[in-house]
Each structure stands twice: as C-alpha cells, then as structure tokens.
Amino acid sequence: MTPRLERPTTAQSPPPDDGAARRTLDGRAAQERQNDGAARERPGGTRYRQRELRRTALATLLATLIIPVAVGIAANGAATAGRWWDTTDRWLSPAQSLLGAALLLMVAGLAAYEPAAAVIAGLVWGALPAAVQIVAPGQTYRLISSLPGLPTDLARALHTWLSSGVVLLIGVLLVGAGIAVALLRRRLLG
C-alpha cells in the first residue's frame, strides 16, 4: 500500500491571511489616488478642469457685461427720480432703479454658480473705476463723457455714483458675495 498523503485538518492549519492582501490592495489604490490629484478630487480629471474653466470664463464674461448695464440703468433711474415734476419719468425712474437692482442681484446670484465670476466682475467694475477716480479725479468725467452714445445726463449720473463711492460699494459687495460663496463651498466639501 502506498502511504496516503496526510492533509492537515482545519484545526491544524493556520487561517488564510486575507487582511494582508486587502491591505496591500488598499495601499496601492490609495497610492494611485494620491499620485493622481485630479482623480482624488473629482472624477474626470483634465476634462473636468477644462469644463470648469469654460464655465468660469462664461460666467465671468456674463457678469462683466451685466454690471455696467445694471449700474447705468440704476444710475439713470436715480438721476431722473430727482425730476419728480415730470410726469413721464414718475414711474419710469423707479422701474429703472428696480431693473438695475434686479440685474445686480442676478450677478450676485451668479456667484452661487461660479464665485470667481462675481469676484472678478466686482473688481473690474468696482475697484478699477474707484482706483481711476482716486488717481485722476479730474479726468474721470472726461473719460465717462467720451463714451460713444452716452447721454450727458447719464454721464453726470455715472460720474456722481463713481465720485460718491456707490460704484466701489457695488464692487465690494459683489467681491464679498463671491468670497463668501467660495468659503462656504470649501467648508461644505470638507
């Protein structure tokens, strides 16, 4: 008779070490995720960043175009509101002020979609004109009135808003809205 190979019983054999294999696989996966920062943060990597860059550029362009229109409409409404005796401007002036405020609210709401858009547009249309006003206060009216197609009354209203700090205030509020949304997103994402 040939000797039978003895098989160890389950009581005699050590249990398989599945934990070591899992730790090795988990370690490799963690290392791969750490090496690829884009994959760790968001799925899609490069394509996601390109899409995010396009979204930021589009939102910034939109905000940068809306702000001067909103400020112009609101400033014109405020300037014509002083002529209360003119019955044609009686309802048009408050409507213009409300429309300008609604457009500015839309830009502030755009900060929820893309915070950088409100920050950049607020700097361009708030800090930059204020810096020009501080550096060359005598030249700002000439710069404003040289814009083609701008009526004289509107040029005066815009200069008044610029020299009194209203434009700077609008820009600072939009920058603050963008920063607040960005900080809130960072806090919520962890």
pLDDT confidence of residue 173: 94
Is residue 163 within 8 Å of 137, Cβ to Cβ?
A: yes
Condensed to tens digits (0 to 9), the pLDDT of residues 8-52 reads 555 555 555 555 555 555 556 555 555 544 444 555 578 778 888
Residue 117 pLDDT greater than 90, yes or no: yes
pLDDT confidence of residue 170: 94
Query: What rounded mean pLDDT belongs to the chain?
Result: 81
CA gap 57, 120 in Å, rounded:
10
If one counts every other C-beta atom within 10 angstroms of the C-beta of residue 102, the result is 12
pLDDT confidence of residue 7: 59
pLDDT bucket at 84, cuts 50 / 70 / 90: low
pLDDT confidence of residue 138: 84
Condensed to tens digits (0 to 9), the pLDDT of residues 55-74 reads 999 999 999 999 999 999 99
Condensed to tens digits (0 to 9), the pLDDT of residues 119-128 reads 999 999 998 9
pLDDT confidence of residue 52: 87
pLDDT confidence of residue 186: 87
**Residue (of 40, 80, 64, 42) closest to 116 by Cα position:** 64
DSSP 40-106: HHSTTTHHHHHHHHHHHHHHHHHHHHHHHHHHHHHHHHHHHHT-TT-GGGTTHHHHHHHHHHHHHHH
Bigger pLDDT: 27 vs 154: 154
pLDDT confidence of residue 40: 44
Q: Is the model's pTM score more than 0.95?
A: no
pLDDT confidence of residue 10: 54
